[in-house]
Chain A
Amino acid sequence: MRWVCEERSDGRARPEPSWNSGNPKHRISKDLESMEVVSAREPHAAAKTGPVVHLDAVTVIYGANRALKGVSARFEGGAVGLLGPNGAGKSTMLKALLGFIKPSEGRMTVLGLDVAERPMEIRARIGYMPESDAHIPGMNAVSFVAYCGQLAGLPAVDAMQRAHEVLYYVGLGEARYRNIETYSTGMKQRIKLAQALVHDPDLLFLDEPTNGMDPKGRDEMLELIRDLGHNKNVNLILSSHLLPDVEFTCDDVIVMDKGQVVAQGPIAELKGPGGRVFELRIKGNLPAFLDVLRQAGMEATSTDEDVMRVFVPATAGAVDGAANSALPLFALAARHGVQVRHLRPSVPTLEDVFAKAVGHE
């Protein structure tokens, strides 16, 4: 993949992606087959230069249905997840950003450009992987991707070269001369990713990229997306209702529900401070031990007669020299004469954040 500004065959220089500008030693090899990172740049150092997408009080109405209700959000550079249940307004937001839908209120910018005023410039710099099956009928994979490259403004020769490179990158190298209509669901997902990547976009919109894929294909697709977001430093927005997909591929998340943003920020921050959660069953004075744990700086709640859920902050463990371990719990139990009968470790997940944000148990 050519992530580096090169001269086109027509003699014009391609605009350099914003995340790839600056220090030349931070550039990435053009060879997609090897996809070798030739720089030692910090992950996301270039990508996280500010918001790539900004929505300000955006409202989208379909007839009587308000799909987006005064949504304000900032998508920082890097990999950002757009999370929410079906019907939350994720796809509507992406389509509004693409200019497919005109919001009745509000303002949107993509890569610093106003969506209402400069949609063509925006589309030249973004790649969109739609949710549903989408291809140009009657074409094989390499023709299709090259065609998309030409539509995005690449000269024919460059588009064809890029098509081969991108198809190898997404794992369709061997099947690139097959008609797309003969592809499996997983292959169709990959070809959609390839057409979104062919013109070296500055920003990728991925709408439910693992839809309909088997577990193996899904894992491979997620690896690809993670690679794009973390090793190739492509800014991407991943819209999904699948929590593990977002958690695996993204660093930041915007949670939507019923047309509104209900939570946003870095996933790690939303999941709360570092530490571990343990499910604990003891023999002894439960209320007294709960007080002891709370005095020790842990969050402890009784969930049953003798069962409690305890969050042990990383710092609590670190004090005892064992971060993220249950040692502080055992130490306190021993000190107060409480027997630990059962201990099961757990971790705070994005699911906890999501459930809390959308108000579900």
Chain B
Amino acid sequence: MPGQAWLVIARAGIMTMLRKRAFLGLLLASWVPFLVRAVQIYLAANYPQASLIAPTAETFRQFLAQQDFLVFIMTIYVGAGLIANDRRANALQIYLSKPLMRSEYIAGKAAVLFSFVLFVTLVPALLLLVLQVLFAGSFEFLQKNLFLFPAIIVATLLEALLSTFAMLALSSLSKSSRYVGILYAGIIFFTAAIYGVMVAITGSTRLAWLSLGANLTQVIDVIFRLKPRYATPWPVSLIVILAIVALSISVLERRVRGVEIVT
């Protein structure tokens, strides 16, 4: 099956993760916020006294923001070893001696992390939208907020894209998944800290583009038609995100090879 090897890699990677009890626990935990939101929607739809907590478009944005921490944990748990472990075990030369291109290998590995990130963001967010229609017994909310459907899809895809490629690039740089995990967390916290210092110094949020997380927040706010929370223009944040993805792909192109040449 030419061009299908990435599916084999993705399936094997997903199955490997699902065999880990700790990971199954993390997956279950990541759906707890969904259950809370589902109860909220149910109560609002069925009890007039609970109209205060009736869902709005912002509710879905808040839900995705709540999932950010779980996405962060999952990215480290799933993604840190995706390529690093293969490099440690010299598996790349096994993979690349088979009839598959480097891009297929990367696509297969990316699909593993991408799937899990979407499983804790896109899937529950869309389910919440469906539940809202079911519990309310009408399409009124959906018709008023029709943009939510594409907004959820675009926002979660963007988040998954950024975290997947950034993590894969880091994973390709080392043979130690622990080191990769620490490096990823370090980059997230360090960029946020730098931004925080700059806010303290300048008193402005114009330099929010320095923070990886702030860029994503800024763009997703715009996607959900909310007022951006930082002074950085959202196109700048989008450019930073796309630049990081492009840089990650470039790193992967250089690092994923059948032979490591040291000159």
A residues with CB within 8 A of B = 62-65, 95, 98-101, 120-121, 123-124, 126-128, 130, 132-139, 147-148, 150-153, 195
Contact = CB atoms under 8 A, between A and B. Distances in A.
Contact of B93 (A64, A121, A127, A130): A130
Given A100-B257, A101-B259, A147-B8, A152 B88 contact: no
Nearest to B91: A136
B63 to A, nearest CB: 33
Given A128-B97, A195-B94, A136 B86 contact: yes
Contacts of B96: 98, 100
A21 B101 CA distance: 29
Contacts of B145: none
| Nearest 6 interchain pairs by C-beta | A63-B263, A100-B258, A128-B97, A124-B99, A134-B90, A151-B98
Contacts of A139: 16
B91 A134 contact: yes
Interface in B89-148: 89-91, 93-101
18 contacts: A64-B263, A65-B263, A99-B258, A100-B96, A120-B2, A127-B97, A132-B93, A137-B81, A137-B86, A137-B88, A138-B85, A147-B12, A148-B98, A150-B8, A151-B9, A151-B95, A153-B1, A195-B94
Most buried by B among A100, A121, A127, A132: A100
Contacts of A152: 98-99
B261 interface: yes
Contact of B5 (A99, A128, A137, A151): A151
A120 B99 CA distance: 5
Given A120-B2, A134-B93, A95 B258 contact: yes
A89 to B, nearest CB: 13
A135 B99 contact: no
B91 A135 contact: yes
A273 B214 CA distance: 79
Contact of A100 (B88, B93, B99, B263): B93
Interface residues of B, number: 28
A137 B92 CA distance: 11
Given A100-B93, A123-B97, A130-B93, 8 more contacts: A62-B261, A65-B263, A95-B259, A99-B258, A123-B99, A123-B100, A135-B91, A137-B89
B130 to A, nearest CB: 33
B94 A148 contact: yes
Interface in B8-23: 8-9, 12, 16
A135 B86 CA distance: 8
Contacts of A134: 89-91, 93-94
Contacts of A133: 89-90
A135 B93 CA distance: 9
A135 B8 contact: no
Given A64-B263, A147-B12, A150-B8, A121 B99 contact: yes
Contacts of B88: 137
Interface in B38-95: 81, 85-86, 88-91, 93-95
Nearest to B17: A138
A95 B101 CA distance: 15
A238 B89 CA distance: 23
A132 B260 CA distance: 13
A141 to B, nearest CB: 13
Nearest to A207: B93
Contact of A62 (B5, B9, B98, B263): B263
A137 B16 CA distance: 10
Most buried by B among A121, A128, A134: A134
B89 A136 contact: yes
B97 to A, nearest CB: 4
B83 to A, nearest CB: 11
B101 to A, nearest CB: 7
Given A136-B86, A137-B89, A98 B16 contact: no
Nearest to B101: A120
Most buried by B among A64, A127, A151: A151
Interface string B226-263: 00000000000000000000000000000001110101
A242 B12 CA distance: 38
Contacts of B101: 120
Contacts of B91: 134-137
Nearest to B84: A137
A38 B172 CA distance: 48
